[in-house]
Amino acid sequence: MTRPILLLCLFSGTFLTIHGVFGFEVAYLVGYGSFALMAALISGTFLWLWVRRATPLALGMAFGWAGAATVIGWWWIYKLTGRTDWMEENPFLFACLSLYFVGALLHLQVIGRSFELPERTPVVAFLGTLAASVAAALLV
pTM of the model: 0.86
pLDDT in tens, 73-104: 999 999 999 999 999 899 999 999 999 999 99
Q: Where are the alpha helices (DSSP H) in the chain?
A: 2-22, 24-53, 56-80, 85-88, 92-114, 121-139
Residue 27: closest CA among 13, 37, 44: 13
Rounded (5°) CA angle 25-30-36: 120
**Cβ–Cβ under 8 Å, residues 103 and 62:** yes
Question: Quick one: pLDDT at residue 137?
Answer: 96
Chain centroid to CA 78: how far?
17
Domain ranges of the chain: 35-139
Question: Quick one: pLDDT at residue 57?
Answer: 86
Question: Quick one: pLDDT at residue 53?
Answer: 82
What band does 13 get if pLDDT is binned at 50, 70 and 90?
A: very high
